[in-house]
Amino acid sequence: MTTHTFFCVDGHTCGNPVRLVAGGAPQLNGADMVEKRAHFLAEYDWIRTGLMFEPRGHDMMSGAILYPPTRPDADIAFLFIETSGCLPMCGHGTIGTVTMALERGLVTPREEGVLKIDTPAGLVTARYSRNGPYVDSVRITNIASYLHATDLAVEIEGLAPLTVDVAYGGNFYAIVDPQPAIRDIADVNPSDLLRWSPKLRAALNARYEFVHPENPAIRGLSHILWTGAPTKPDAHARNAVFYGDKALDRSPCGTGTSARMAQWAAKGRLRPGDDFVHESIIGTLFRGRVEAAAKVGNHDAIIPSIEGWARMTGYNTIFIDDRDPLAHGFQLADKA
């Protein structure tokens, strides 16, 4: 019987939780973060479920583990963990992890004001603004994002037929724009989105295939982005992102904002240099910008950036004890 100890810093980015794992994680094999992610999933996914699921976490929990970088142009590597899996990239998780790692002295950038991060999705650059011992804001330049497919038709129980676009911003997102079945997230309850989203995701993955054209290890649609009109005067759009099995992102969602900007750019609504302010379901804001045009395979793409803020809430030393029958966590599941 063994007790595994994990030293964590807990916080949130614009309302959505972030758990930074600063100590206790295993050494991983692999030449890059893609291979290290695969090793983690094959042998250590119990760490993710133990730290993210109840009783040590909850349905909205997400986080990142700090690792040494695998590439010479990076300062540090992040391995993202959350209830939905081990994501290639997480925007709100990056903003929160950068903020807390810098404030707690867990990383020292080679260039003050810029942190370069090795992730399974590629190199991510974070530019941050310090205020004494604190980090006031972080702007991340994300990986190339693109519109993957348009007007995909699907039917699910409880809703009229839906048509969605699918865009990639570090994860694949089904974007549900206003249509007869649902005109605005303000018109429905969060419980409705939580009920419809798993069915919509399953139906789309069953009917269509979603594979990144340059990295076939990134496959499958994982997130649903429901849309609505903004309530804040400086926001361009509002959203609620479903992930995992029961989670609605409380932040505006970083990779979701990247996917939304890629969709708008592909349809001529955004150009390089344009700003895009995205509002969350609780009214917090990410400030996005189209930094440049790009290509992903044969797809026109953009390089997006997203700015947000995060706050630390405390230290958390977590034990995963083999004697505990619930050591690897649990989730309450609805009947099929």
- Known active-site residue 90: yes
At residue 270, the 3 state secondary structure works out as coil
Interstrand relation of 16-23 and 3-13 (parallel, antiparallel or unpaired): antiparallel
- State the Cα angle at 221 between 218 and 227, rounded to 5°: 130
- Known active-site residue 14: no
Phi, psi of 53 (to 5 degrees): -80, 165
Q: Which residues pair with 129 in a beta bridge?
A: 137
Structure tokens at 320: 């995963």
Q: Which of 8, 14, 86, 253 is catalytic?
A: 253
Kindly state the greatest CA–CA separation across the chain. 59
Q: Work out the number of other CB atoms within 10 angstroms of the CB of residue 336.
A: 3
Phi, psi of 258 (to 5 degrees): -60, -45
Supply the DSSP string of 71-130, one letter for each residue.
Answer: STT-SEEEEEEETTB--S--HHHHHHHHHHHHHTTS---SBTTEEEEEETTEEEEEEEEE
CA 47, CA 328: separation in Å to the nearest integer? 7
Phi, psi of 98 (to 5 degrees): -60, -45
Q: Which of 8, 14, 86, 90 is catalytic?
A: 90
The CA-atom distances, in angstroms, between 60 and each of 54, 251, 304 are: 10, 11, 25
- Residues catalogued as catalytic: 90, 253
